Amino acid sequence: MLRNTFFIILIFISLQSFSQVVKEPKVIIVTIDGLRWQELFRGADSSLTQSRYNSDKIGIAESYWTKNVLERRKLLMPFFWGEIEKKGQIFGNRDLNSKMEVANPYRVSRPGYHEMFNGFVDTAVKNNDRIYIHYPNIFDVAEEIFRNKNLVASFSSWDVFNFILNDDLAKYVVNAGIEDLNIVGMPNTFQVLNEMQRQAPPFISKNVRLDVITYQLAKQFLKTYQPKLLHIGFDETDDMAHAEDYKFYIEQAHQSDKMIANLWKEIQSNPFYKNQTTLIITTDHGRGEVPYGNWTSHGQGIPGSEQTWLAVIGPNISAKGEIKNGVAIYNQQIAATIAHILGINYKNSKQQIAKPIDLN
């Protein structure tokens, strides 16, 4: 009897260690536009740091170059290769046979984001056109279930998110591009950020806000309104690559890692989020590698543009670290993964959605 009780307790303890009780799950998804798996898993690329694409060969080498690939990637993205590697999962290292791809054939941003948030490939979304395509995605469905518009929100640097997420119909906050946030009774911090985005130089274009301001708006929103599903969309990595600027592409990859580390610190020190929140970080497409100049671009004609990656950390995410030899996963599985973590039923009237990614 005593022996049986002992075994039952033992089984109970081991089950506990596999799944933490999450009373009210939250999901935060951060997208880093067009950041290649090559830099995430291998660190700065010496063929590019020593090329005409890098205007600061000495400075970039001092900050991000070392021979050992594991140390080199940690110099570039210390939060990924510290906290997430230790406690979460990182998919997409093709050097270790872990494959992640977009399922859409177009391999540009908007089809990539639709795929993620719809849960399937809509072949009508072929490019980045600023047009509305109206049907509900995972955010609309979550908002419908939560029934409070401040429980779902998306902040992104690129104005096209206003069209991707149908800001004309969305019942939650969609704040994209250089756009003021206006919520009745909002704290003064938001006014400061509204002013700042209009006073900052249009460094990238009039359609793209600086990632740091997008991040601060999202972070202040999280602290003030406590959303249960939040999207933060960074954009500068993609813009810097298109601008053929490897120095700023690398620097922005590093800054993105820093902001995500700061976000995780906020989450884990906030009682509403602590040990209740899953953080997913991913990208919308890959970019070229060979020939040499193809890293700046992506699309149907550029091999490698389908190659993506995903990192995840949170309660009930087993600490597998870097995934090796896994089955191929697809960006279109993200919508169902978010729904699964939040414990909501997500279906789409348009098409069957792809199954969630196995994170156990």
* 250 closest CA partner among 45, 32, 71, 37: 45
Nearer to Zn ion, 147 or 206 (CB): 206
Q: What share of the chain is helix, strand, coil (3-state, %, to 5)?
A: 45, 10, 45
Could you give the string, one character per residue 82-121, with x where binding to Zn ion holds by CB under 5 A and - elsewhere? Answer: ----------------------------------------
Residue 316's SS3 state is coil
* 347 closest CA partner among 138, 139, 135, 103: 138
The residue behind tokens 């980045």 is 128
Nearer to Zn ion, 41 or 158 (CB): 158
> Is position 238 an interface residue for Zn ion (rule: CB under 5 A)?
yes
Helix (H), strand (E) at residue 313? strand 310-313
Smallest distance, Å, CB 235 to Zn ion? 9
Residue ranges in 18-37 that form contacts with Zn ion under rule CB under 5 A: 34
Smallest distance, Å, CB 238 to Zn ion? 4
109 CB-side CA count, 13 A: 24
Do the bridges between strand 100-101 and strand 89-91 make them parallel or antiparallel, or are there none, so unpaired? Answer: unpaired
Smallest distance, Å, CB 242 to Zn ion? 6
Nearer to Zn ion, 104 or 277 (CB): 104
Tokens, residue 89: 């999962």
Nearer to Zn ion, 16 or 127 (CB): 127
The one segment of 15-23, 158-166, 236-244, 304-312 that binds Zn ion by CB under 5 A = 236-244
CB 153 within 8 A of CB 231: yes
Smallest distance, Å, CB 297 to Zn ion? 7
Nearer to Zn ion, 299 or 343 (CB): 299
CB 157 within 8 A of CB 210: yes
Smallest distance, Å, CB 109 to Zn ion? 6
Nearer to Zn ion, 238 or 322 (CB): 238
Smallest distance, Å, CB 298 to Zn ion? 6
* 253 closest CA partner among 18, 34, 9, 6: 34
Per CB under 5 A, residues contacting Zn ion are 34, 238
